[in-house]
Amino acid sequence: MVATRWQGVVSPLMSLVIFILGHGLMSTLLTVRLSAEQVDAQAIGLVSGTYFAGLVLGSFVNARLIVRVGHIRAYAAYASLICTLILLHGLVVDPWVWAGLRLLGGFATGGLFVVLESWMLVSSTPRDRGKLMSLYMILLYGALAAGQLLLKVIDPMVLAPFALCAMAASLSVIPLALSRVAMPTMIQPQQVGFLELFRLTPAGMWSSLSSGLILGAIYGLLPLYFTDNGYGLERVANMMAVVILGGMCLQYPIGRVSDRLDRRLVIGLLSALLALVSLLMVILPAPQPDWLMTGLIFLFGGLAFSIYPLSLSHACDELKPDQVLGANQGLLLAYSLGAMVGPVLAPSAIQLFGPQGLFAYFCLCGALLTLFLVWRQRVRAPVPLAEHQQFIPVPPNTPMTAELEPRPDVELTQAQGEAS
């Protein structure tokens, strides 16, 4: 019986792994290629920021298309568009053209995530969703890290690596094309205004925004930091894999600690430690021993990737159950705004301080968030521990993840309808 229930999620999980292998390679490949082309950090940041702008658009508006044409047709359309856009990156190497291509690519990627997450929603039961979310997170971050390692065997200056990423997007259609799934009816959440959310859960919103400021710069500019410090492709690939693995490994234990404490305190400690690690990256003499760099980057990734899911859990603690789904949309939007702006702001620090300026930027983000959370603890009492929702690690992809979360008191309705 258990095997039967899980059969429905095998196809989307297989498609996820195949797609993310190419997606993970693509995000770092673009930065490495632009750096090799002597493109300045501001233009590289712009290319990264436009991707997140497209991602949030795709995450919020593509659900209607999926409902109209079905999961498989929608996924095939998005994957085909992504495949074409990736190949265009390899044919036309220009940062302004790439910015437009990344905007469209982010839009299509947001649609893919909505398809995959809604498929898993309808193919699982509330009892299964905790295990499913954990498996989803492991596969997502594991494939993202593995994609970085493909940098070791490619030449970023030719078309071949772009073709490899395009192949991954195309091949990811196959598991879904051979499956069928009922279409979920996505329940209409209670609408919570963006400004209203800042009033109801200011710590949750500012933490989500800060998470975007940090992670957007990590995805878009951290490979540039390594290349500017003389790292070869193999070491860049290793370091990018390490930062993602740190995020995957540390989120759950940190989250479980937050179930027993004021989450604002935990997020504040995380951001303070992130600022400290970033400061060490700035002041330690280069080159640093491999063991030290690996350890610092692993810890940095664990701290940075944990802020968003903690901010969402804190918001769930402060809000009414019927506001949670609407709040998830608001926090995701705050994160996305940060992820759009972060890669554009951080290059200013790089121009002032050189490659180390990226970590000076991370240090500033962590320090400002720490100060804000210390102030919030003084002006608002903590949520009683008895009212804490259980922490669930959540990737900042789409609002659909809120419906996948097996949090108490959040009821979901699903309708049966065949997707073709």
pLDDT of residue 186: 52
Provide the pLDDT for residue 259. 78
Whether 35 contacts 227, CB under 8 Å: yes
The CA distance from 338 to 172, in Å, is 29
Contact in structure between 206 and 338 (CB atoms under 8 Å): no
Show Cβ contacts of residue 236 under 8 Å, excluding neighbours closer than 6 positions: 28, 32, 151, 223, 226, 227
Please write the tens of the pLDDT for every residue from 244-261. 999 888 888 888 887 788
Question: What pLDDT is attached to residue 352?
Answer: 92
Q: How far apart are the first and last CA of the chain?
A: 25
CA-to-CA distance for 75 and 70, rounded, in angstroms? 9
- The low-confidence residues of the chain, meaning pLDDT below 70, are 1-8, 59, 62-63, 121-130, 180-194, 319-327, 385-393, 397-420
Cis preceding-peptide flag for 384 (omega within 30 of 0): no
pLDDT of residue 324: 62
CA dist 209 → 29, 44, 45, 204 (Å): 26, 21, 17, 9
pTM, two decimal places: 0.87
Question: What pLDDT, on a 0 to 100 scale, did the predictor assign at position 321?
Answer: 62
**Residues in contact with 289: Cβ distance below 8 Å, sequence separation at least 6, in sequence order:** none
pLDDT of 184: 52
